[in-house]
Amino acid sequence: MGLSFQFNKQDLKNNELISRVGISFISTDKACANIEDKNFDFDSMVQQNQQQWKNEVFQKFEIQHDNQTVVDQFYTNLYGIHLLPSNRTGENPNWDNQDNIVYYDDFFTIWDTFRTLNPLINIINPTRGAEIVQSLANTYKNDGYAPDARSANQNGRVQGGTNSDIVIADAYVKNVANNVDWKLAYASMVKNAEVAPPYWYDSYSPTDSSKQGRGALPDWLKYGYITRNYTRSVSRTVEYAYDDYAVSVLAKDFGSSDDHDKYLKRSANWQNIWNFDASTNHYHYTGFLQPKNADGSFNYTSYDPLNCYGCYWGNDEYEAKPIEYGWSMLYDMETLIEFINHNNNDKDNDASLVIQRLDDMYLLHGHEKIVDVGNEPSFATPYLYNFINQQYRSVELVRYIMNTYFKTGESGLPGNSDAGSMQSWVIFAMMGIYPIPATTTYLITSPFVSSLTINLENGAQFKVKANNLSEKNIYVQSLKINGKKWNKNWVDHNTLFGKNGGAIEFELGENPVVWETGERPPSPGHYKL
């Protein structure tokens, strides 16, 4: 379809040609009505748009730092996290009586955004966070399933699990409750967890439906893991487990105690594919995730914990290696640390082997690059030293990753933005905290800016102050939260972002010191099979 316009130059005002286009997914009549707005003024529309960006994004942040490049990097990434999804309320041609039904489209990668983007939105714009959750619930109600990806008013592929479950649970535990029908949202989670979707052929993954829902659910319910009868067996086992943890969170209030216990137990199913004897020629330690057959035996065909052999739709793991996915159970790090130390003869020291394994993941300490920082499965990995009270190592590694792979300019990201996932990882890194999705826990590192204030939607403020920050002074010497001395390397959401807001004050220095004498970060989904 094309159009040709003719006009006389003498008819132009100030040599300007203004063209107006009306768009509607509903009808041509509505598109025409959008053109015929008699109050339309281009300059006013530009000003309104700019003001909305200021109100909802830029004016919420106040930053002080003496390095303008760092400030530019912060605001560039802040812009990048607000481009998707698209609010298309009232513009879905497939839904009836939709004028007042919240609807968002262009969820390109919920499989990535659940890690950092959605938790960040729940901090800086909880109204939008609530709308996103309600849109997921409305999509379930009208289309049958909440999406893992969606565009053009249609649910798209499911890369791993049904990670809308985690988006919903994250908003719920953080009291993002503005006009959300939580019962409907919980129903969408139960549908994901219990009902396999109709088959939808995908040439990349012909074993099952990859359009919506959990295509490998029959294995999950029968065996407690995904067998190699399905593609992406390892990555889907890990993600289904995290999804079921998310379901258990809402089951406390909207299901029964039996429902909660069932889903919590299922969240431990990753343990069914942990092989304590799995090994690699590169390292002396053993114990890794490994593909498993339907008869319960581990598969050794084309298996190496350090290789995913294509890392694509038809492989056992998507986008990351087994050793990378082995750090994914953030809701139960207690069990993971125990598993890592299963063959450790030094039972009184559970930290050393965890340190060695984490060190081996990155070139900063390891002899090779294992983690692909351009993809999201390992987003949380550099922060996991906190779970053994070695926070300074997390500080070092996050700094190394930021300084090595993230810049300003066109090549400022090491991989695809993935709908703002990469940029939101940067924002959390620069703030000095990192979210554990579907929990209220933030891991603490150290900030990249001297002073940061977020004007929260409820009228309160969240403040970060970094005393003595410099290129060398990155290590926490002492910490105060809300004016009181703090000895833990983690903090709860309501402590920082509740009705009264919150503040973190860092005293930074050139060398690590022992300051984190409090208990380790929690494992709210702890369950050992």
| CA–CA distance, 227 with 14 (Å, rounded to integer) | 69
Give yes or no for residue 97 having a pLDDT over 80: no
pTM assigned to the model: 0.96
Decide if pLDDT at 323 tops 80.
yes
| φ, ψ (nearest 5 deg) of residue 461 | -130, 150
Does residue 337 surpass a pLDDT of 90?
A: yes
- Is 46 a member of any domain? no
Q: pLDDT at position 418, please?
A: 97
Find the domain containing 207 and state its range: 9-35+61-509
Question: Which pLDDT score, from 0 to 100, does residue 88 have?
Answer: 94
Mean pLDDT of 444-461: 98
Residue 142's domain is classified under what CATH number?
Answer: 1.50.10
> For residue 206, is the peptide bond before it cis, meaning its omega torsion is within 30 degrees of 0?
no
Q: For 255-298, how does the pLDDT look when each residue is reduced to its tens digit (9 = 90+)? A: 999 999 999 999 999 999 999 999 998 899 999 999 999 999 99
- The answer to whether residue 221 scores a pLDDT higher than 70 is yes
Residue 289 pairs with which residues in a beta bridge? 274
Contacts of 362 (CB under 8 A, 6+ apart): 369, 370, 371, 382, 397, 400, 401
Residue 438, domain member (yes or no)? yes
Question: What is the average pLDDT across 84-107?
Answer: 91
Position 93 in a domain: yes
Distance CA 126, CA 132 (A): 10
Q: What pLDDT shows up at residue 15?
A: 81
**Per-residue pLDDT, 348:** 78
Is residue 379 pLDDT above 80, yes or no? yes
Residue from 180, 77, 184, 173 nearest 132 by CA: 180
Q: What are the tokens at 203? A: 């040439």
pLDDT confidence bin for 158, thresholds 50/70/90: very high
2 has a pLDDT exceeding 80: no
Higher pLDDT, 98 or 156: 156
Cβ count within 10 A of residue 281: 7
Residue count (the chain): 529
Task: Give the chain's count of helices (H) and strands (E).
Answer: 17, 15
Task: Report if residue 156 sits inside a domain.
Answer: yes
- Cα–Cα distance between 139 and 155 in angstroms, integer? 9
Q: Is 280 inside a domain boundary?
A: yes
Q: How confident is the model at residue 375 (pLDDT cuts 50, 70, 90)?
A: very high
Q: What is the pLDDT of residue 284?
A: 92
- Tens of pLDDT, residue by residue over 383-408, are 999 999 999 999 999 999 999 999 99
In a domain? residue 529 = no
Which residues are CB-neighbours of 494 under 8 A, at least 6 positions away? 175, 440
360-370: average pLDDT: 89
Lowest mean pLDDT among 4-8, 422-426, 439-443, 479-483: 4-8
**Does residue 441 fall inside a structural domain?**
yes
Comparing 41-45, 319-323, 415-419, 448-452, the range with the smallest average pLDDT is: 41-45
pLDDT band at 465 (very low <50, low <70, confident <90, very high): very high
Provide the number of structural domains found in the chain: 1
Contact 442, 522 (CB under 8 A): no
Q: Which of 413, 505, 455 minimizes the C-alpha distance to 73? A: 413
What mean pLDDT value characterizes the chain? 95
Q: Is the dihedral of CA 152, 158, 164, 170 positive or negative?
A: negative
Residue 520 lies in a domain: no
Tell me what percent of the residues of the chain surpass a pLDDT of 90. 84
Q: How far is CA 130 from the centre of its chain?
A: 16
Statement: residue 18 has pLDDT above 80 = no
Least confident of 7-16, 108-117, 365-374, 500-509: 7-16
Arithmetic mean of pLDDT, 408-417 = 94
User: Residues 56, 60, 64, 68: what is their CA dihedral angle, to the nearest 10 degrees?
Assistant: 0
Question: Comparing C-alpha atoms, which of 469, 476, 306, 288 is closest to residue 393?
Answer: 476
